[in-house]
Structure 1
């Protein structure tokens, strides 16, 4: 394992985050405050509670997952795409580091950024709602696993994309709609039976459900299934990235 290479890539990516830390943190926090105002106050005035949990508190895990997924994908995809765009990817490819070290550096930085922002959002939520975390260990476990899994997905998107338009199309057209339809602001049990079955075809529902369980002990699907879903995604993304580096697909174009 080439630890110096991992550290070099990781800290290079993190330095970009720290240079613009106020922008990086202010934007998601402001968005979260707006969600709390719109959903927590406006809709919460009509929906007092969901399964015994005040609606304002109920949406906190969904908001955190929304941010983690968006930030993980965006940071990892841009992190690897920019070297491709500027041509410095060749310096990485000829360096004495394997695909796993390169992936670990970029994905580790992207996941760290997403987790930091999610924790800031969690702290922000305490100003609006009395959120109680029933299982702190599993909350952190789901948070880290989800951040890493979607950072790996973002890394794949960055390797696949040929231009900035392609870099944005998957997060905007796929990831964000799946999060909104994955129970970020409601419970699947609130839906009619047919649509509840349709909602359970959405893989993001399993991530949000497991994460919400760590807060309130409530889940739309069994927690074990949620853990298996995020683990399968993590392993599948690693396998795809390994194949890309072995074949050189989109790396040398």
Structure 2
């Protein structure tokens, strides 16, 4: 039986007196540490497989450029005095951003639900707003990064210029945010990957291809030209292209206002789903 000496007991008493419990960590109105950690997690998730998430979309876009610009050189007339390569290049860049921003947030949430790792971001002190910001910011980063890399690889074939930089910046960020938030909503709603595939194949892709990526909407017969103006992707692609060639099919002001309103609406929807935990905590 070990018997402690009075000196040892006194030393332990001094040590216990000097140990001060740490106060609870306070985060203020926003847990920026948690948001930053979640954002880094989302970025590293797609960066670890950059060959699939960044390089593959660029290759797909280059294939489109090879078909429409190189293989069909001279077969496609210009559009309103603009060479067809200048016209189609920005549309292909925007299409890559739209698809990849959506894929990042939707696949991340879907994987977390299927693999049972949703607790990784539900257990930490993250509010619904902070979860919305973290997942959205990660997807926006992927969308913008893919857009930049795609623009650099497409430019030698398209040779487009920069006319309105503000439009390029605004519509690229708006498009990435809209599709990132759409991916968040779809990822929370979907119960299996087949549901996400259905959203991609029957909603995202048709709206992308029917929004003027490869043609002028004004050249469509009535009423398809008017119907296209109810497609939010039309304003994103048209506004983004306006930044490069200085011409547009629709109203840039309507495009700015409508995309801003849509971004706010999707943000509120994503926040509400995170707040209630619908199909996430069950």
TM-score range, shorter chain: over 0.9
Partner of 2:206: 177
Partner of 1:128: 157
**Following superposition, which runs of at least 4 residues in structure 1 exceed 6 angstroms of deviation?**
none
The answer on 1:82 being equivalent to 2:123 is no
Shift of 1:16: 2.0
Partner of 1:100: 129
Question: What do the CA deviations read for 1:199-248 (whole angstroms, capped 9, x no partner)?
Answer: 22222111111111111111111101111121111111111112212322
The answer on 1:154 being equivalent to 2:183 is yes
CA RMSD after TM alignment: 1.4
Structure 1 residue corresponding to 2:76, chosen from 5, 22, 47: 47
Structure 2 residue corresponding to 1:227, chosen from 252, 256, 272: 256
* Bigger CA radius of gyration: 2
Tell me, yes or no, if the aligned pair for 1:44 and 1:56 is still in contact at 8 Å. Answer: no
Partner of 1:30: 59
Question: What do the CA deviations read for 1:29-50 (whole angstroms, capped 9, x no partner)?
Answer: 1111110111123445222200
Tell me, yes or no, if the aligned pair for 2:36 and 2:134 is still in contact at 8 Å. Answer: yes
Structure 2: runs of 5 or more not aligned: 1-29
2: CA distance between counterparts of 1:11 and 1:245?
Answer: 20
Tell me, yes or no, if the aligned pair for 1:40 and 1:56 is still in contact at 8 Å. Answer: yes
Superposition TM-score, scaled by structure 1 size: 0.95
The answer on 1:197 being equivalent to 2:226 is yes
Superposition TM-score, scaled by structure 2 size: 0.86
Q: How many equivalent pairs are there?
A: 253
The answer to which of 63-72 and 193-202 deviates more is 193-202
Structure 1: runs of 5 or more not aligned: none
Q: Look up the SS of the partner of 1:26 in the other structure.
A: helix
Tell me, yes or no, if the aligned pair for 1:160 and 1:250 is still in contact at 8 Å. Answer: yes
